[in-house]
């Protein structure tokens, strides 16, 4: 049985989001707005099929995929790039590789109890986010 991420998760810690945004080429003014947001993650999971919604007061981002199947991701409202994206299970971790213009781009999610972890990487920058289950 794979891990079940279904639920609503509220951010409680966000390390080096600024460095990650700089690596993505996000402009100064947008970084200042984005840097104070408190994103919520809403996961819908049916086995290997996922929808992850990242919700903020500024912008929202939704990504749907099936583990193991490559898809074209357009990071609309984020850095607006096109990636060939694949999310795979690595034991109970979800490991995403976003192939495209930016090197070493991707993310990893995992759960420990009622805590959801996310590491977002682009080039030489990693942002570490922690969420607590709220629903």
Which residues are near ligand YOG by CB under 6 A? 21, 24, 26, 30, 34, 37, 39, 41, 52, 54, 56, 58-61, 63, 78-79, 107, 118
86: which strand partners? Answer: 97
CB of 51 to ligand YOG, least distance (A): 9
Helices (H) and strands (E) in the chain, counts: 2, 10
Closest to ligand YOG by CB, 102 vs 107, is 107
End-to-end, the C-alpha distance of the chain in Å comes to: 22
Lookup: tokens for 24: 């993505």
Closest to ligand YOG by CB, 6 vs 60, is 60
11: which strand partners? Answer: 131
The closest residue (CB) to ligand YOG is 63
Measure the CA–CA gap between 110 and 94, rounded to whole angstroms.
6
CB of 63 to ligand YOG, least distance (A): 4
Q: Which residue is associated with the tokens 């070493």?
A: 104
Closest to ligand YOG by CB, 64 vs 113, is 64
């Amino acid at each position: 049985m794979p891990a079940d991420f279904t639920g609503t998760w509220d951010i409680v810690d966000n390390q080096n989001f600024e460095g990650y945004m700089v690596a993505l080429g996000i402009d100064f003014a947008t970084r200042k707005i984005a840097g104070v947001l408190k994103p919520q993650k809403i996961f819908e999971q049916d086995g290997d099929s996922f929808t992850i919604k990242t919700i903020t007061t500024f912008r929202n981002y939704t990504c749907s995929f099936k583990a193991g199947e490559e898809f074209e991701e357009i990071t609309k409202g984020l850095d607006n790039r096109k990636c060939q994206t694949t999310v795979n299970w690595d034991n109970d971790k979800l490991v995403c590789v976003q192939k495209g213009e930016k090197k070493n781009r991707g993310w990893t999610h995992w759960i420990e109890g009622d805590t959801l972890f996310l590491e977002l990487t682009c080039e030489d920058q990693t942002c570490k986010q922690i969420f607590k289950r709220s629903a």
